[in-house]
Every structure is written in C-alpha cells, then in structure tokens.
Structure 1
Amino acid sequence: MRITIISLLLAASATLTGYCVLVFSLFQPTRDTVPLLVCTGVLWVLFAAAVFLLRGVSGRAVVVLVLAGSLGIGVAAMVGPPNTSTDSARYAWDGIVQNAGISPYAYVPADDRLDPLRPEWLFPATVPSGTVPETCQGQRIVVTHKTASDAVLCTALNRPTVPTIYPPAAELYFAGIRFLVPPTATYWPLQLGGLVLSLGTTGLLLLGMRRRGIPQRFAAYWAWCPLVASEAITNSHVDLLGVVFTLAAALLVTRARYWRGGIALGIAIAVKLVPVIAAPAMLRRQGWKVGLAAVVTFFALYVPYVLTTGIGVLGYLPGYLSEEGYDNGKRFALVSLIAPGGAAVFVAGGLLVVIAALVLWKTDPDRPWLGQLVMIGSTLLILSPRYPWYALLLLPFVALSGRWDWLAIPLALTLRQILPSLELTWAITAALIIVLAGSAVRLDPDVRARMLAAPLRAARFLRPPR
C-alpha cells in the first residue's frame, strides 16, 4: 500500500510538473505569478509527502521508486520550453557559434558579423506595428540593436550586447550538445541533456550510498525535488553539469582516488566557478593532490580559448558581479543588515574564509558531504543570490548527509524568483532559522543544554552588582 501511494504521488508530481511547464510562465504578457506560485507550492508538498512515505520502504523497491520518479518527473519537465529563465537560449547560441569555428568569447551576439549564423527561433524577424516601422513579438523575445549597423535585432537571448560569461567546460558542453542537432532545433536538446545528467546524478547517488552504507532513500532528495525538474531540465541550467562533476569528485576522493577526484573538481569549477566552494571539505587528506589536479585541469581547459581570444575569455563575469550588486555589497541580504554598503563585501568574505577553515579542520575525510553541505549552504545564505538554480549544487549533499532541513534554502530562493516583491532578506532569514533549528534538534542533548545555558551564564556575568 505504501509503495502504491508513493507511486501515485510521483505520478501526480509528473503530471503537475508537465502542466506547470505548459501553462505557466514568467514570460507571459500579463505576468500573474500566483498560479505558478500555487503550482510550485503543491509540487513541493507532493515531494515532501513522497519522501516522508519512502521512509517505510526498504530493499530494491527504494531504488526502483527513486529512479522511476527521477525519470518520470524529468520527462514531464521537457514538455514545454523554458518558463522562468532564458539562459538556455544563450547556451544554444554559444554552441552554434563554436560549431561554426568561432570562439564564443570573440563577438557579442548582436555583432553584425554573426548574421549568417542566426536561426529564426533565436533571432526572429522584425514585424511592422502601426506607426513603428519595426518591432519584435514573442514571449521570450527582446529588442536590441546590432553593434555596427544599429539595425533592430529581435532575440531570445538575454544580454545580447555583452560577451558570454560561461567558462570553458560549459562552452564545450554547449558545443557538444548543439553539434548533434541542426541549428533549427530549439530548446529540447539542452533539456534532454539536463534529463540525462539528472538521471546520472541520481545513479551516482544511489551507487555511492550503497557502497558507503547510506540509506538509498535519501537519493530522493535529489531525484524528486521540484527544483531539479524546473531548473536542471525545463530551464536547462548548466549548473547541473558542475553538480555532476562535483559529486563525482567527492565520491572519488572518499575512495582514495585523489588525482581523479581533483580532475573532476577542476572540470566542475570550469563549468561555472561556483563549485570551488565544495573544495575545502575534500582537502583534509592528500589535499595537495586534489588541489593540484583541479588547478591544472581548470587552466588546461582554458588554453584553447585563450589562444584564440586572449583576455576576452573573462567574458561578462566582471560586469555580472557588478550588475548583481556584489561589488558594492547590496546583494548580501543578511550581511548588509550588520555591515551596510561596501563593508558587507569584507564581512562576507571574512565569514566565508572562517567557514572554509572550519570545514577543512573538522570534516571527516571519509564522509566529506556534511562539510560540503555546510560550506555550500552557508555560501548561499551569505551571498544570497537571486536565482534558485545556484542551489542545485546543494542538493546532492543534502541527500548524502540526510539533512533535509537545508532544503529550506532552495525553497526560499525559488519563492523569491517567482515573487520578486518578496523581500530576499525575509526569505533567507526564514531559511536560516529552519537550518539552525534542524541542526539544534540533531545535537546531543547535553551539548544542546550547554549551548542554551551559555547565554544565561553570560547574562548573569554581565549583570551589574546591586
């Protein structure tokens, strides 16, 4: 009966996932986010219920359910185009440009010299509209101008007048995906790539858990999570590729495959730089091997692009950090409460250094996932990004550690994306409270009692004498 109920919940999740993708979008002309919010909320409730019931299932049935749910929900996530992000349009364009023999860092998408490469679905033709001679139509289409001729250019790409931001491993992935399909193929190739990588991550988790005695039901925290379906598959964020290699690095290092683990970590960092925060927990034992292999791999992947483009390989990264408010401290939602303005940059940096040092010192080298969970989760809380797909990196380590309360972080970021009017500070604060409460509950009772008594002792010590 329990297996039947879980199967029904997973079927409902898959059905509702497909419905959300087909019906709701942040790109609709009349942007009513309430239906998408309700749909997302129900998906998280179904996810929580299915994971809770899985606790009573054992044996091979767990593996079958986890894989079946991962596949079913993932396929459902492919039934429509991206509905919350246009990043995959840029991925496709970078792949098309590379397969034409051009470095993706060499020209901005609006450059006139790239006109022969433009497919209609990424660069639709302009249309006349009343007194306006040329305009653009379409949910994901924006209006810009070509760099030389200043002609109107309709495009599905965001930031079409700046160079690409993505590092070389991501660019190789884009080129590989687009090499297999014609330029007319739209969003589905990257969605299919996301499905394959998502299933691969599920498989890696199940295999790694079996070998290390971790309950395999925890893999459902990744496999059935609505964030994976939405951001890894429907919207095809390349962060997923970094997740796969980061997880592989952690599993390799714990089996004393230090050089291979370092290579996997270097590839992960060369996907989107963010996975570097998972490194401290993997450096406790033979860290120099892991670090050296990662650094060499990272720079080796850059070599072909540096030879063709030079310093241009930095792309839009500096501009992006400024655009997001990381250069002046505005992006640090919690830190800005105690250190406003530019001081937030130094406080946030200091906190991250301290946490990294503690993780390196305290992590069990045979089971580094708790340290990686703390490092990645703390970074998300401190840096407070606007976009939920950055939290994809957190999910495999939620699964390996079984600390489900840390799912509050991706849920908070998801709510903030759908409801921009929601103060990010409140969303992040709520997630922090849930994480701290969950951690406190897991503490040894004696340790918890001492921690609760410490503020009382301090208050008595600081109380002025009568």
Structure 2
Amino acid sequence: MRTPLARLALLAGLLVALTLGGLSLHVPGADTVGTPLRAQILVGLLAVSVGIYLLAVRLVLRGSVPARALWLVIGVALLLRLALLPAPPFLSSDIYRYVWDGQVQAAGINPYLYVPADPALAQLRDPAIFPLINRADYARTIYLPAAQLAFAAVGRLSASVTGMKAAMLLCDGVAILCVLRLLGGAGLPPARVLIYAWNPLVLWSFALDGHVDALAVGLLALALLARARHREGLAGALLAAASLVKVLPVVVAPAFLRGGGFGRPAAAGLATLVVLSLPYLSAGPLILGFLPAYGAEEGFDTGRGFWLLAGLAHLVPLPAAAGRLYGLCAALGFAALAAFVATRRAGPPDAVRLCRDAGLLAAVATAAANPHYAWYYPWLALPAAIAPTPAVIWLSAAPVLFFIDPFNERFVWPGLVFGPAVILALRDLRRARSTALALAPKGAS
C-alpha cells in the first residue's frame, strides 16, 4: 500500500504530465492555442488537472503527509512555473497591453490619454507587441495606477513579454512565501501551501499568461501577513496598493478591521491611494480608462452578464433595469456581510480567522460579480491555503473551464462552475450551523 507521500508524488507526476501535455497543444506561432478543437482538448486536460489538484488538496488537509513533503510541494510548484514561463501566452492577450503601457510611459506619455491605435503613438508601434494588443482601436487602458507603475518599472528593465511574465511570477513567489509564513505563524502544516502553489488556474493564469492579478495577489499576501502580525497601518497601505492593481481586493477590508482599529489602516490606505495615483492625475477623468465602458461590454448593464440573470433570461424577458437591480441587491447583501464580519466579537484576528473572513468576503464578492474571465478567480486560493473551505477552493480552480465559451452565453457553461460552488457553500453553511447548535449551551434558543 502506498504511503501518503508516495500518493502525493504520484499526483504530482500526473499534474506535471498534464501541464506539459497542455503546453504541447499550442501551435507554434499562433496567438491562441491554435484551433478551437485544440482549445477544447486543452480545457479538458486542465479540468483533469483540477481533479488531480483537488485530490492532492484532500491528501494534504488530512494531515497524513510527513513534514518533508514540503520539499516535494515546493519543487513541483517551481518546476511547473519554469515549464510555463518560456511559453508564449496563448490563453489571453492582456499581457501585450501591459508591455505597451510600459513602453508608452518610457516615452514620457501618460498611458491613460490615448488608445494604442492613436496616431500620437505611431512611433511606438513594433511588430512584436502592437499587433497583438486587444481593443487597440477603441479602448484606453483599463489598468489602475499601481499596475501602471509596475508596467513602467518592468518596461525599463525588459520591454518584453517574457520580462513581464517573470515579474508577475516574482509576485506569485512572494505570495507563496507569505503563505508559508502565515501557516507557520498559525502552527499549520507548511505543505498546505500546495492549495495555492499547485492550483492549475494560478499556474496557467500567472506563469503562462502573466496576468497582473499576480501583482495584486502578492500585495494582498503581504497585507494578510502584516495584519496577522498586528501591523495595521502597513496592512492598510498594502491592501490599498493591491486594490489599485485590481479593484476586487478591496472587498476583504472588513476582515482587516475586525478586532482592530479603523483610523490607522484607513489613513495609510488613503495615503497610498493618493501617492500611487499622483503620476497619472494629469489625465483627469480619463484615469478611469476603459473601466466605465467595461461593464457595458460585459453585459452587466443589461443583466445578461450575471449568471443568475442570464439563466432567468432563458425563461422570461429581463426588464431594462435588471442589471441595476441585481447590482443593488448584491451590494446591499455584501454590505450586510461586511458589517457582520467587521463587527463580530471574537478577539483580534489570528491568521486563520483573518484568512477565513477574507476568503469568505472574496468568494462572495467574486461569485456575485461572476466575471467570465478565468484569471479573476485564482486569488481565492490565497486565503484558502490558510483557512480552507471546499466552496472557496473549488471556485479558485474550477474556472479553468472559462478559457473556452462553447455556447456563447453566460448560464449553461458557467453553471458547471457556479452550480457546484453553491452546493458546496450550502453544505458548509449547514455544517457550521450544526456545529454552532452543538456548542450552544443547553436550553439556549
């Protein structure tokens, strides 16, 4: 009978083989996988990878693997990243915009002022980057100031896709180190870092496509570590920086406030937002870039971009205000959850409680927004490594399915991700309620 370490090694070998097999499907020179059939096969391999990953997570969470398994976990994580790093990005073209924005800033131009196809930027066009920029003829950059500062810094060192990918992998590495420190501080097995480090969606989103979400994850990991060590001002500044890379991390702020003060992290966060935005304020309202138009492009204004409303639209016509009503209800519901998390009386947050609250807030907000791009979800694996729950772990990995869109609609195919997530969340709630009832004093109502 195989030992737990041998089983983990077997799962590691399968994950490596599936990753290399997925890489082999790319047609050399193609800016996508190559053909729709190859893309479908790749997503099939990624789905199997998620299954292997979930088995590995289960094995680690059982606590039966020895301490030396950490070396296997870290070694495989590094191997997978090194395998994906040299490959050209073929599941997303966003990284070309990152490199372009860095080149624009290197020329002394505010990146929010012009679309890439504007004649004012004609002298910056090159055959390696410019032809592959998405929305080049109608969309100003959508990326926020903290991301822009990173693009500018990387661009001064290496104005290349590989250089940008390496920078994002560095941020990913920071996240792994922070998870290890958080696990150690909480007295948890360090092999649990596998929950983040082996996550297939993390690997393909960051190591292959170099998404800027890796920068947000690295900053959020540092913020969680700072808050767990009761450095509230630093935590507030780091969380603000993460939110100025991608907006979503701001939703975990209530977890940082629980059991702590408000003034110091709020002041540090506000100061960070101002300082990081200063280099770009000359653009005025254009500093929002393509962000205001993005919601309409994604169908959020009509409601058809939301999973529940897309399903409802199959049954009845949606009113014109459906998207706004959904957004209002989601905002009110999230506000109630945020208030509950921030005000619960349970003492100052340790690492596990902090990450459990952060994971809950992050998962609820991400699921409510339900973006159909896969790389919006891997950040959920970060708090799940310290405070794992099945629903959050599932939601951090299963969106590998979103790398294709076979039905070109927002309900049936996404339902393969969100349906199980809802079931797992309801099961978690039922178990939590049963535990609370079992711990309640006799005679309590």
Aligned in 2, Cα 1:31/1:239: closer, same or farther, shift over 3 Å?
A: same
Matched, 1:163 2:137: no
**In the alignment, what sits opposite 2:121?**
114
CA contact (8 A) 2:196 2:382 kept: yes
CA distance in 1, matches of 2:362, 2:14: 31
Greater shift after overlay, 333-342 or 279-288?
333-342
CA contact (8 A) 1:221 1:404 kept: no
Aligned in 2, Cα 1:200/1:446: closer, same or farther, shift over 3 Å?
A: closer
TM-fit CA distance, 1:349: 1.6
**In the alignment, what sits opposite 1:431?**
421
Which string of whole-angstrom CA distances, capped at 9 and with x for unpartnered residues, describes residues 360-417 of structure 1? 1237523311111111111122111101211122111111102244222234432133
Which string of whole-angstrom CA distances, capped at 9 and with x for unpartnered residues, describes residues 336-358 of structure 1? 66896132122122122122112
Greater shift after overlay, 324-333 or 283-292?
324-333
CA distance in 2, matches of 1:99, 1:254: 38
**In the alignment, what sits opposite 1:290?**
265
TM-fit CA distance, 1:426: 5.2
**In the alignment, what sits opposite 1:203?**
177
Higher relative contact order (CA 8 A, sep 6+): 2
**In the alignment, what sits opposite 1:375?**
361
**In the alignment, what sits opposite 2:378?**
392
Helix, strand or coil at the partner of 1:57: coil
Greater shift after overlay, 363-372 or 383-392?
363-372
**In the alignment, what sits opposite 2:23?**
21
**In the alignment, what sits opposite 1:325?**
299
**Equivalent runs, 1:272-421 vs 2, <5 Å:** 272-284=246-258, 285-306=260-281, 308-334=282-308, 341=322, 342-362=324-344, 364=346, 365-366=349-350, 367-421=353-407
Helix, strand or coil at the partner of 1:368: helix
- Alignment-mate amino acid for residue 440 of structure 1: R
TM-fit CA distance, 1:38: 1.9
Aligned in 2, Cα 1:102/1:264: closer, same or farther, shift over 3 Å?
A: same
CA distance in 1, matches of 2:13, 2:416: 33
- Alignment-mate amino acid for residue 201 of structure 1: A
CA distance in 1, matches of 2:360, 2:435: 21
**In the alignment, what sits opposite 1:57?**
65
Which string of whole-angstrom CA distances, capped at 9 and with x for unpartnered residues, describes residues 298-317 of structure 1? 121111110x3222211111
- Find the partner of 1:226 among 182, 195, 200: 200
TM-fit CA distance, 1:334: 2.5
CA contact (8 A) 2:69 2:191 kept: yes
CA distance in 2, matches of 1:335, 1:370: 29
Which string of whole-angstrom CA distances, capped at 9 and with x for unpartnered residues, describes residues 197-236 of structure 1? 2222111101111012233222110011101111111111
**Equivalent runs, 1:102-141 vs 2, <5 Å:** 102-123=109-130
**In the alignment, what sits opposite 2:76?**
69
Q: TM-score, normalised by structure 2?
A: 0.86
Q: Structure 1 regions of 5+ residues with no counterpart?
A: 124-154, 451-466
CA contact (8 A) 1:412 1:431 kept: no
TM-fit CA distance, 1:50: 2.8
Aligned in 2, Cα 1:345/1:446: closer, same or farther, shift over 3 Å?
A: closer
- Alignment-mate amino acid for residue 356 of structure 1: A
CA contact (8 A) 1:408 1:435 kept: no
Aligned in 2, Cα 1:322/1:221: closer, same or farther, shift over 3 Å?
A: same
Helix, strand or coil at the partner of 2:108: coil
- Alignment-mate amino acid for residue 198 of structure 2: W
**In the alignment, what sits opposite 1:3?**
5
Q: TM-score, normalised by structure 1?
A: 0.83
CA distance in 1, matches of 2:308, 2:288: 29
CA contact (8 A) 1:88 1:235 kept: yes
Greater shift after overlay, 21-30 or 396-405?
21-30
- Find the partner of 1:251 among 203, 220, 225: 225
TM-fit CA distance, 1:103: 1.3
CA contact (8 A) 2:200 2:397 kept: no
Higher radius of gyration, 1 or 2: 1
CA contact (8 A) 1:24 1:35 kept: no
TM-fit CA distance, 1:190: 2.0
**In the alignment, what sits opposite 2:107?**
100
**In the alignment, what sits opposite 1:127?**
none
How many residue pairs match? The answer is: 414
Aligned in 2, Cα 1:11/1:100: closer, same or farther, shift over 3 Å?
A: farther
- Alignment-mate amino acid for residue 117 of structure 1: L
CA distance in 2, matches of 1:280, 1:48: 29
- Alignment-mate amino acid for residue 358 of structure 1: F
CA distance in 2, matches of 1:351, 1:408: 22
CA distance in 2, matches of 1:424, 1:363: 37
Helix, strand or coil at the partner of 1:232: helix
**Equivalent runs, 1:257-272 vs 2, <5 Å:** 257-272=231-246
**In the alignment, what sits opposite 2:211?**
237
Greater shift after overlay, 22-31 or 293-302?
22-31
- Alignment-mate amino acid for residue 157 of structure 1: I
